[in-house]
């Protein structure tokens, strides 16, 4: 259960709820609702064009595409690098529009330094050519776990910091490039370095070559679980499991050796000795299968966590992100227009900003930092915001604004 949420710019109220609530507070609800619908339609048309462009740009780098002939190998190295960088910059811009925040390198290292509960993994950040982590909202998640101090008979409350939404942008380095780096770092031959890289990228399936860009979208990720989201994780045995295997496995092996030697010494024929050796081989096999079973248990734990936290991947994650950016833009525009319309003329932008933030906090109980300057820029771009010589800001009436927005929508529809 999430007991606390912290957002910076994200407005945690749906567009429809905002429109319905604000419509009850204006003199002409019908005109205001029609204006809001036109704003929604205009942003949707713009988003459709953006989505089509992003789809075309991402096709050469998508690991999921089934379009024949669209491959990055058909491009020159210079063109490939330029297109890749342009695509990544466009995605980062959409993330900003959706009110996602970049997780700094220092914060990423702090999160990766935390131990993951139930499984221990290792990742190599040098394996990536591009890596960016963005999040929207933080929370505190409280769970009930068994307490070892009560011999696991009682429960205790454990509070874990979480990321409400998390976006992962990854492009692995080409195998030959990374192999040459490992040859220097680990003093390996090229063949061994190549095998090491392919083995570490097993979660990428057949996409280990580094030609593709991977986008991952998650929800309610504990900060300590950030490591398990990367596709090159290497599962490591926990210290407690090593101790258990050392005690049980070591004791069983020593006991098996002693029993085998005793049986062979007491054997009167070759069959008895073979049976004794076969019994010892069975003991060793049981220890090996225990290790494999433990590894399978680790993988099952990882799969279970990702199953409940994964929202979307690759092209789906981009489309999801574009929809969120569209929603944030129209909510900011509608809120700014409403409060400017109700105030007639605004002198103090700080007071206007505080009024909008107070409204949001009153409706959802959460404090956010409303981006007023961004919202005003959107109103100016729509040509519905005016400023006189004294610096007073006003918006044109809903009837007049509807005509401007309708013309803008028709212009987009006529654009090929």
376 in any annotated domain: no
Q: Domain of residue 286: give its range.
A: 240-293
282 in any annotated domain: yes
Q: How many domains does the chain have?
A: 1
pLDDT of 316: 93
pLDDT of 136: 93
pLDDT of 167: 96
pLDDT of 168: 94
pLDDT of 319: 93
How far is the CA of 113 from the CAs of 107, 122, 233, 235, 383, in angstroms? Answer: 10, 10, 14, 15, 49
* 3-state SS class at 41: helix
36 in any annotated domain: no
User: Residue 46 burial (CB < 10 Å; 0-12/13-18/19+)?
Assistant: middle
pLDDT of 1: 43
Q: What is the pLDDT along the chain (416 residues), one digit of tens a residue?
A: 444 567 888 999 999 999 999 999 988 999 999 999 999 999 999 998 889 889 888 988 888 877 766 555 556 778 888 888 999 999 999 999 999 999 998 988 888 887 766 566 778 888 899 999 999 988 888 777 777 677 667 777 778 888 999 999 999 888 888 889 999 888 889 899 888 888 777 766 555 566 789 999 999 888 888 888 888 777 665 555 555 556 555 555 566 565 656 656 665 566 666 665 666 566 566 666 665 565 566 566 666 777 788 899 999 999 999 999 999 999 999 999 999 998 866 668 888 999 999 999 999 888 899 999 999 999 999 999 988 877 788 899 999 999 999 999 998 887 76
pTM recorded for the entire structure: 0.80
How far is the CA of 82 from the CAs of 12, 13, 55, 72, 92, in angstroms? Answer: 36, 38, 17, 12, 15
270 in any annotated domain: yes
186 in any annotated domain: no
285 in any annotated domain: yes
pLDDT of 3: 47
The b-or-e profile of 237-264 (16+ CB within 10 A means b, else e) is ebeebeeebeeebeebeeebeeebeebe
* 75-116 pLDDT per residue, tens: 677 888 888 899 999 999 999 999 999 999 898 888 888 776
pLDDT of 307: 74
263 in any annotated domain: yes
Among 313, 323, 315, which Cα is nearest to 56's? Answer: 315
User: Where are any strands of DSSP class E within 269-316?
Assistant: 310-313
250 in any annotated domain: yes
């Amino acid at each position: 259960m999430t007991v606390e949420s912290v957002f910076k710019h994200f407005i945690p109220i749906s567009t429809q709820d905002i429109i319905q609530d604000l419509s009850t507070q204006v003199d002409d609800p019908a005109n205001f609702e029609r204006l809001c619908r036109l704003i929604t339609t205009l942003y949707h048309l713009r988003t459709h064009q953006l989505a089509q462009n992003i789809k075309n740009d991402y096709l050469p780098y998508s690991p999921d595409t089934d379009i024949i002939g669209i491959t990055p190998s058909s491009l020159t190295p210079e063109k490939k690098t330029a297109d890749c960088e342009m695509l990544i910059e466009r995605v980062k811009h959409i993330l900003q529009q959706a009110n996602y925040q970049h997780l700094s390198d220092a914060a990423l290292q702090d999160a990766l330094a935390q131990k993951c509960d139930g499984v221990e993994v290792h990742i190599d950040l040098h394996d990536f050519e591009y890596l960016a982590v963005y999040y929207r909202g933080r929370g505190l998640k409280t769970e009930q776990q068994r307490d070892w101090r009560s011999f696991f008979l009682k429960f205790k409350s454990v509070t874990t910091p979480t990321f409400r939404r998390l976006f992962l942008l990854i492009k692995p380095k080409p195998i030959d490039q990374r192999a040459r780096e490992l040859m220097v770092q680990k003093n390996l031959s090229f063949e061994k370095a190549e095998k090491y890289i392919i083995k570490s990228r097993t979660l990428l399936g057949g996409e280990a070559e580094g030609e593709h860009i991977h986008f991952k979208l998650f929800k309610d990720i504990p900060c300590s679980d950030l490591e398990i989201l990367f596709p090159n994780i290497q599962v490591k045995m926990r210290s407690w499991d090593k101790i258990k295997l050392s005690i049980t496995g070591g004791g069983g092996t020593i006991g098996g050796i002693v029993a085998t030697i005793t049986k062979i010494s007491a054997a009167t024929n070759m069959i008895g000795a073979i049976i004794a050796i076969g019994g010892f081989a069975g003991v060793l096999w049981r220890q090996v299968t225990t290790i494999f079973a433990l590894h399978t248990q680790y993988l099952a734990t990882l799969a279970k966590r990702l199953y409940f936290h994964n929202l979307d991947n690759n092209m789906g994650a981009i489309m999801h992100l574009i929809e969120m950016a569209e929603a944030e833009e129209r909510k900011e525009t509608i809120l700014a227009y409403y409060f400017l319309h109700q105030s007639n003329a605004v002198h103090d932008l700080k007071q206007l900003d505080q009024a909008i933030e107070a409204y949001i906090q009153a409706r959802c109980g959460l404090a956010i930092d409303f981006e007023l300057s961004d919202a005003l820029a959107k109103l100016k771009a729509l040509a519905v915001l005016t400023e006189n010589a004294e610096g007073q800001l006003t918006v044109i009436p809903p009837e007049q604004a509807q005509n401007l927005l309708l013309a803008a929508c028709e212009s987009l529809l006529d654009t090929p």
